[in-house]
Structure 1
Amino acid sequence: MADYPPPPPPQQPYGAGPVGEVPLSQPLRGASPRDAIVRFFKKYAGFEGRASRSEFWWPWLFAFVVNTAISLILGNDSAAGSIVGGLFALAILVPQLAVGARRLHDTGRSGWWQLLYLTCIGIIVLIVFWALPEKAEGDKYNVA
């Protein structure tokens, strides 16, 4: 009896990938750090839809670690450290706003709540909103 390779896994309709793979249009609940960071950059400027808590917090931790590494390696006081740190912050500004808006959608709120960034107390309010579990009201932000 000959050994044949196993058949490919069944595909979901509409090109969503193998069964069990969550399409980019849907939030990935319980995302691993790698999956969350990959989705963070794949959905670079996607403000529509929803994002799970893990999809939101892992990229924020990644940004913190990279900023800390830049500061430790190049130094905060050096011109190189300031330039590289500023370029990194600029490169991830849009995706951080996008994932923040998607996370707010998951809690049933508009992404415009991120305007609270402009106030001191607003940052604390946003952190509380981002930490909340998903709500059914967030269904109105689903992407088909």
Structure 2
Amino acid sequence: MAANDEQTRDHARNPEHRTQFADLVRRRRSELNESLDTFAKKALDPISGLRVTRGWIYRLETGETVTPPAIRELRALAEACELPLEQLQDAAGQQFHGVDPLKGGSAEATAYVRKLDALPAEQRDRLLRLIDTLVPPEE
């Protein structure tokens, strides 16, 4: 509780202080109803095998200074949060680099939009036509 009071005072002194990433991780761990130990055990990057430590997650959630996560840490936390990597990338970009994600839509929609660039143009066109059959374009 004291850490949250301290975060509120810090934010009042520095309105540019951003907490989107910390808020996302804290909220998701709460939604999953997991202890910090259980959550940290799941924070394992499936590619590199890197594990995000319990201490780093604790410092993040309590508003202490942490080193911004690299892609390996983001993949590990995406595993623990059971969320798309892109959603964590957006929140980390907001908090640590002041980069705001695409405007509008849900975080999941933004993650899908980012994946579209990986598709060839023909597949993007087919996907757009499919989406138009499900949700007709606005006139």
Structure-1-length-normalised TM-score: 0.25
Structure number, greater radius of gyration: 1
Structure-2-length-normalised TM-score: 0.26
